[in-house]
Amino acid sequence: MRIATWNVNSLKARLPRVEAWIAEAAPDVLCIQETKLTDAKFPAEAFSALGYEAVHHGQGQWNGVAIISRVGVDDVATGFGALPDPYEGEARLIAATCGGVRFVDVYVPNGREVDTDHYVRKLEWLATLREWLQSTAAPGDPLVLLGDFNVAPEDRDVWSIDAFAGLTHVTDPERAAISSLCDWGLTDAFRRVDDADGRFTFWDYRNGDFHKGRGMRIDYLLVTDPVLERVESATIDRDARKGEKPSDHAPVVVELRD
DNA sequence: ATGGTAGCGCTGCTA
């Protein structure tokens, strides 16, 4: 089974690129973030034309997450259920079971600047995610928590740690929140098979960052042990960041043995 | 080169 995560930065602006990528990469399950659409405007028929079922959780203008699958979409859930959401009203989580694996697709809040209200609520959102996970799933389940985490787990996951001094995405509390998720029973599937530096999934549109190699690895797939033992390969599709109207993120693809 | 990009939606916010 081939699974992928991709922050598309507006599905309206990116639909032609997403359709082309699906046709070429042929994922079984693609989880996307930042659709920036209402549910009413989600182009489900574009995906059914390619042989995929899709479920979407959106609000319009900002955020929005979707799961696109050709191996079924069952038991769909959105948001944190009964738990209070520090970003109430923002569409940042959708979960579904596809091909026997539970997928939890997240768009973690950016946090803007350290020690602001947004940053504090980002940490609370991640703590809530851990609590929600613990109350709705077990580490022995085949599960993938994937998406745009807006946290670079290690110094080598940014192009220059010095350039990030005092900024969000690399602070100890943010990294501790990701570690806490992993402590529950998750492992970074990409790092399991690729230990190299300079592996990035996001490059800011500004300053020509992509062409200068100034990126960050903030999109990943955290998997439980039953999925980890099936991981065959993990790649970042940098080509998807090139060409006409690219997203500022590249897709991350993980191949699982059957 | 002391500014640069992109998307949303129409003024300035978000990333």
CA separation for the pair A248, A245 (Å, rounded) = 9
- Protein CA at A192 to nucleotide C1' at B6, angstroms: 33
- Report the pLDDT value the prediction gives residue A52, as an integer from 0 to 100: 98
Q: Which residue is nearest to nucleotide B14 (CA to C1')?
A: A62
Average confidence (pLDDT) over A235-244:
97
- Tell me the domains of chain A and their CATH numbers: 2-256 (3.60.10.10)
- Protein CA at A166 to nucleotide C1' at B7, angstroms: 27
Residue A212 Cβ < 7 Å to strand B: no
- Report the pLDDT value the prediction gives residue A255, as an integer from 0 to 100: 98
Q: What is the pLDDT of residues A65-76, one digit of tens each?
A: 999 999 999 999
CA separation for the pair A222, A96 (Å, rounded) = 15
Average confidence (pLDDT) over A131-152:
98
Residue with tokens 């745009």: A148
State the nucleotide closest to A111 in CA–C1' terms. B15
CA separation for the pair A3, A128 (Å, rounded) = 25
Residue A205 Cβ < 7 Å to strand B: yes
Contact predicate A65/A31, CB 8 Å? yes
Q: pTM for this structure?
A: 0.97
CA separation for the pair A11, A129 (Å, rounded) = 25
- Report the pLDDT value the prediction gives residue A48, as an integer from 0 to 100: 98
Residue A61 Cβ < 7 Å to strand B: yes
| B chain positions with any atom within 7 Å of a protein CB | 4-9, 14-15
Q: What is the pLDDT of residues A120-130, one digit of tens each?
A: 999 999 999 99
- Report the pLDDT value the prediction gives residue A6, as an integer from 0 to 100: 98
- Report the pLDDT value the prediction gives residue A3, as an integer from 0 to 100: 98
Average confidence (pLDDT) over A100-109:
98
Q: What is the pLDDT of residues A9-59, one digit of tens each?
A: 999 999 999 999 999 999 999 999 999 999 999 999 999 999 999 999 999
Please list the alpha-helical segments (H only) found in A186-239: 189-193, 209-212, 225-228
Residue A13 Cβ < 7 Å to strand B: yes
- Report the pLDDT value the prediction gives residue A154, as an integer from 0 to 100: 98
Interacting residues of A160 by C-beta distance below 8 A, sequence separation 6+:
A214
Contact predicate A36/A61, CB 8 Å? yes
- Report the pLDDT value the prediction gives residue A91, as an integer from 0 to 100: 98
**Of A28, A7, A20, A34, nearest in space to A250 by CA:** A7
- Protein CA at A61 to nucleotide C1' at B15, angstroms: 13
Per-chain mean pLDDT for chain A: 97
Contacting residues 169-188/A vs strand B (CB within 7 A): none
Residue A242 Cβ < 7 Å to strand B: no
Interacting residues of A28 by C-beta distance below 8 A, sequence separation 6+:
A1, A2, A3, A69, A70, A71, A98, A99
Tokens of A215: 């990126």
Residue A211 Cβ < 7 Å to strand B: no
Instruction: Identify the three-state secondary structure at position A154.
Output: coil
- Protein CA at A14 to nucleotide C1' at B3, angstroms: 27
- Protein CA at A212 to nucleotide C1' at B11, angstroms: 32
Q: Which residue is nearest to nucleotide B3 (CA to C1')?
A: A207
Contact predicate A256/A231, CB 8 Å? yes
Q: Is the dihedral of CA A187, A189, A194, A199 positive or negative?
A: negative
State the nucleotide closest to A110 in CA–C1' terms. B15
Q: Catalogue the E-assigned strands of chain A.
A: 2-7, 29-33, 53-57, 65-69, 74-78, 93-98, 101-107, 143-148, 187-188, 202-203, 215-216, 219-223, 231-236, 252-256
Instruction: Identify the three-state secondary structure at position A111.
Output: coil
